[in-house]
Structure 1
């Protein structure tokens, strides 16, 4: 199948919806099973320190220090298609928590793939934190 402008438009919207779904699910009481469904089987989540977490183990990210409130906001999603079934993306995020209204911010760098069922999923997500409140949840949880 050719990857024309209509297919590219649909794929772009599906990928953006995938990222927004992740952001909506990543709260103080996440449903890890639902969060894992935005990743392909064997997908990875890379922390800023390089540690790889399997999607089904995403609760490890909070290191037992769950914030009482956390919301992820995603914007400026850049999608570069490398084939009709794979794209490399970069998007900016901002996180608000009960500890700090602007807790931390940065980029998600993703490889997304379209599965045989036609669904786009995250194959590899690298979190790049560019800054944050020194007294915020992220900086106190990841003090290293």
Structure 2
């Protein structure tokens, strides 16, 4: 790995962390700014473009709010991350995550990201989350 790639890796890891924290906090602007202008968030359907991603994040959460006075939170924890540089201004990453909620370990999976350098920033050009496991007590099952 070159010195430039080592520096880029640190910037990419910070971007992935910032995106995760902004998503958990429903901070639409901070979340959308982690993506390129033409970035894609590939859920069941593709959400294409930074402004569409911002609008999606401003909308109602796909995670239902708990009832009956149960505390409501969701917290993604990034674990193993492998970044491969595919060009001078491009990289791919696969990052595993665990999610905790009031139910405990709630669900887990991984992100497959394509990243692109835009100026001095590394931004997500395409993100595809994959869920591997969901607890029977998960907030997603409400």
Distance (Å, rounded) in 2 between the aligned partners of 1:139 and 1:87: 34
Unaligned runs of 5+ in 1: none
Deviations 1:20-54 (A, max 9, x none): 11122122x4110111000111211122xx32234
Please list every run of at least 4 consecutive aligned residues from structure 1 whose deviation after the TM superposition is greater than 3 angstroms: none
1:111 — aligned with what? 114
> Structure 1 length as normaliser, TM-score?
0.83
Q: Give unmatched runs, 5+ long, in structure 2.
A: 67-71
SS of 1:65's equivalent? coil
In structure 2, the residue matched to 1:9 is 6
What residue number does 1:44 align with? 40
Alpha-carbon distance, 1:62 to partner? 2.5
Q: Residue deviations 1:40-85, cap 9 Å, x none? A: 11211122xx322342112457237246211110011100111011
- What corresponds to 2:53 in structure 1? 55
Give the length in aligned residue pairs. 132
